[in-house]
Amino acid sequence: MRDKVIIITGASSGIGKACTYVFSEQGAKITIAARNEEKLKEIESDLKTNNREVLAVKTDVSIANDCKSLIEKTIDKFGRIDVLINNAGLSMRGLFEDVQLEVLERVMNVNFWGTVYCTKYALPYLIKAKGSVIGISSVAGFQGLPGRTGYSSSKFAMHGFLETLRVETLKKNLHVMIVAPGFTSTNVRKAALGPDGKPQGESPRDESKMMPPEKVAEGIARGIKKRKRVIIMTTEGKLTVLLKKIVPKFLDKLTYKIMAREPNSPFK
């Protein structure tokens, strides 16, 4: 990854922040993007202290012009783009019959349209570099998760977009990879929107038992080097995809049962 130019969205925390450090340690030049400019500047300052090449760009990926500016500033700074990691994400929790439509729109705007916008503006440079487009997804992009209609829908949409892009650019040597980390210890569940659009403020799961974001970042790095199509990082995730193919009705019941065990589950 030495001297590769990598853009990482949602880089102020969690998987995005972990990717920033993993790739910079391997010698990459990094553009970090997120809405929280203060946290971005802290990461940028820390990396520069260690003589890493990094650019911080405040970006709301749900705004097309922000994504365009992110790409332009990266080209102005580094002159090329080798890897785009679409990591910025927003979750939600609540029954579809209770959730406000605005919640679903916000989740879709970040998770799906954010990926589309950034990829659209970066695409000419990525094709020129025969580079990589990465979508950080979830098992929720393979199996609908009850209580998370907006989140699952956005990940299914991301999959459809990236898989179509892969076929369209088949003869241009663009690498397209979908990554499903499984439940990872990040801030995403605390920031998840409730039915009324307000952050739920606490995680419904035991974060200490989840995959650390650094492990996810290392897996992403290996996947890029090997130009993998899909990476499903947990046994639970791999089993879900298998059951979806062979016994989908059983998987629906199993998914319902597992998700109903969450504290304060919206369904039983």
Structure confidence at residue 31 (pLDDT): 97
Selected catalytic residue, list 21, 117, 121, 151: 151
Structure confidence at residue 52 (pLDDT): 92
Q: Is residue 30 within 8 Å of residue 23, measured between CB atoms?
A: yes
Q: 5-234 has which fold?
A: Rossmann fold (3.40.50)
Identify whether 125 is a catalytic site residue.
no
Going from N- to C-terminal start, the domains of the chain cover: 5-234
Q: Is 181 helix (H, G, I), strand (E, B) or coil?
A: coil
Q: Is residue 192 within 8 Å of residue 184, measured between CB atoms?
A: no
Structure confidence at residue 188 (pLDDT): 61
Residues of the chain falling short of pLDDT 70: 183-190, 201-210, 268
Nearest to 138 by CA among 150, 123, 155: 155
Burial 153-165 (b: 16+ CB within 10 A, else e): bbbbbbbebbeeb
Find the helix or strand (DSSP H, E) in which 123 lies.
helix 114-129
Structure confidence at residue 85 (pLDDT): 98
Structure confidence at residue 50 (pLDDT): 87
Structure confidence at residue 206 (pLDDT): 54
Partnered with residue 86 across adjacent β-strands are 135
Structure confidence at residue 185 (pLDDT): 57
- What tens digit of pLDDT does each residue of 211-251 get? 888 999 999 999 999 999 999 998 889 999 999 999 999 99
